[in-house]
């Protein structure tokens, strides 16, 4: 079966802040069946799926990929009203982050292998892009693929002079040949690698190629995709991706029988262990391969056990030590004592009480900053707004 799956492509759906799931999936595949990723002719993605593809294909380390995602989450959560605060601009964060982490020759590394799903604004058609001439083109395409109207702004960004928005609007799970593509999604559905719901509810819909089961779990996941939860929950989502990928490999009969093991003894998996991921950590214990594992990792497994299906119970002990250690490091709060003081309950309560006074002032400051940054693009954007208004009035 492993030989038959050589040359299969992988497609990652759009999922917002749930991109941690894909880190777990690719970590499992790279440990168990590295030839599957190495020989994949295409890696396709929309929105967050495309972001994951480009960082993976560039060879960015597991630890660095998790840190990039966690920094984006912290940027979205650091203000009282989260993503709605005027200081947070998703498109700007993505563009600045990509310019910082991607190598200058990224277009040479991924052209022909990375496929990004875009939605053309003028006619709503889906466009798949795989050839790039520069790093700037890749960054522009990724920013376009992640642009959700109103959530990210009003004016869609451009790629090669044409305006596009989120690829998930027209094709959330892109593929070239469905018979040789492994589809991946963090939502409950019918994709090759995705969570499995314990409920007997079999109702599901297909939304722009995304198989979406109608259940309360998916409603929660959609909310988490748009409004990031605390780091601990994102860590659990990442480990969920690892377990779902491992289950897929076991079902296909292509799992490597001797991968690295977390191998936490049963007596260490009791819920009584303190649930503290980022502070007051106990001295680490040693496992196979000289990987240092601290007892706080048990928290992830305990939370996952609440929602897993029966045949996933056995594979919980096979969680990757490398993935766990990278997650633990990424979740560690930065800023030392100052960060702890700012996050303590009395300070947070006071910040909410002062919000009616501070928010108007902050809004004015950040609106002025946005206007200054927008000034070079203002003529083109105003021309597009005029065109969009004309189209809307014609339809009315």
Q: What is the DSSP string of 281-324?
A: PPPPEE-GGG-EE-TTHHHHHHHHHTT--GGGGGGGGG--HHHH
What are the percentages of helix, strand and coil residues in the chain, rounded to 5? Answer: 55, 10, 35
pLDDT at 45 exceeding the cut of 90: yes
Whole-number pLDDT of residue 319: 72
pLDDT in tens, 200-209: 666 889 999 9
245's tokens: 């990928």
Residue in 9, 91, 117, 166 annotated catalytic: 166
- Statement to judge: residues 92 and 218 lie in one domain: yes
Per-residue pLDDT of 146-180, as tens digits, reads: 999 999 988 999 999 999 999 999 999 999 888 89
Which pLDDT score, from 0 to 100, does residue 342 have?
65
Q: 122 in a domain, yes or no?
A: yes
Whether 312 has a pLDDT exceeding 60, the answer reads no
Question: Rounded to an integer, what distance in angstroms lies between the CA atom of residue 279 and that of residue 333?
Answer: 8
Domain that holds residue 386: 354-395
> Is 39 a known active-site residue?
no
State the burial class of residue 390 (Cβ atoms within 10 Å of its Cβ: 0-12, 13-18, 19+).
Answer: exposed
If you average pLDDT over each of 41-45, 243-247, 287-291, which comes out highest? 41-45
Question: Does 314 share its domain with 358?
Answer: no
* Residues 385, 280 share a domain: no
- Alpha-carbon distance 297 to 264, whole Å? 9
Active-site annotation holder among 47, 91, 117, 145: 47
Is residue 219, in this structure, part of any structural domain at all?
yes
171 Cβ contact partners less than 8 Å away, ≥ 6 residues apart: 46, 117, 119, 126, 128, 208, 209
Q: Is 345 domain-assigned? A: no
pLDDT band at 374 (very low <50, low <70, confident <90, very high): confident
As given in the structure block, the two tokens for residue 109 are 């590394």
Whether 346 is covered by a domain: the verdict is no
The number of domains in the chain is: 2
Residue 280 has pLDDT above 50, yes or no: no
Q: Is residue 166 flagged as an active site residue?
A: yes
């Amino acid at each position: 079966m492993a030989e038959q799956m050589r040359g299969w492509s992988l497609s990652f759906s759009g999922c917002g802040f749930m991109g941690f799931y894909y880190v777990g999936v690719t970590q499992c595949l790279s440990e168990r069946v590295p030839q599957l990723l190495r020989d994949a002719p295409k890696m396709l993605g929309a929105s967050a799926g495309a972001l994951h593809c480009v960082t993976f294909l560039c060879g960015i380390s597991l630890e660095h990929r998790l840190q990039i995602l966690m920094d984006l989450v912290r940027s979205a959560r650091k203000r009282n009203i989260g993503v709605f605060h005027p200081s947070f601009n998703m498109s700007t964060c993505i563009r600045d982050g990509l310019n910082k982490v991607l190598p200058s020759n990224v277009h040479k590394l991924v052209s022909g292998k990375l496929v990004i799903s875009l939605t053309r604004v003028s006619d709503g058609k889906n466009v798949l892009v795989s050839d790039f001439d520069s790093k700037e083109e890749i960054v522009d395409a990724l920013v376009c693929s992640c642009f959700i109207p109103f959530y990210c702004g009003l004016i869609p960004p451009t790629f090669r002079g044409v305006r596009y928005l989120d690829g998930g609007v027209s094709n959330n799970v892109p593929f070239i040949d469905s018979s040789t593509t492994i589809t991946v999604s963090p939502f409950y559905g019918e994709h090759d690698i995705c969570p499995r719901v314990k409920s007997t509810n079999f109702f599901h819909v297909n939304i722009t190629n995304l198989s979406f089961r109608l259940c309360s779990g998916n409603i929660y996941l959609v909310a988490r995709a748009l409004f990031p939860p605390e780091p601990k929950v994102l860590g659990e989502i990442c480990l969920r991706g690892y377990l779902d990928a491992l289950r897929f490999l076991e079902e296909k009969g292509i799992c490597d029988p001797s991968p690295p093991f977390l191998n936490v003894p049963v007596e260490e998996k009791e819920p009584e262990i303190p649930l503290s991921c980022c502070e007051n950590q106990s001295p680490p214990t040693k496992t196979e391969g000289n990987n240092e594992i601290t007892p706080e990792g048990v928290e992830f497994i305990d939370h996952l056990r609440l929602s897993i299906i029966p045949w996933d119970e056995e594979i919980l002990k096979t969680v990757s030590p490398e993935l766990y250690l990278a997650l633990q490091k990424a979740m560690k709060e930065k800023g030392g004592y100052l960060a702890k003081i700012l996050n303590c309950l009395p300070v947070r309560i006071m910040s909410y009480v002062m919000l009616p006074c501070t928010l108007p002032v902050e809004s004015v400051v950040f609106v002025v900053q946005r206007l200054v940054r927008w000034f070079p693009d203002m003529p083109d954007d105003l021309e597009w707004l005029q065109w969009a208004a004309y189209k809307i009035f014609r339809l009315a």
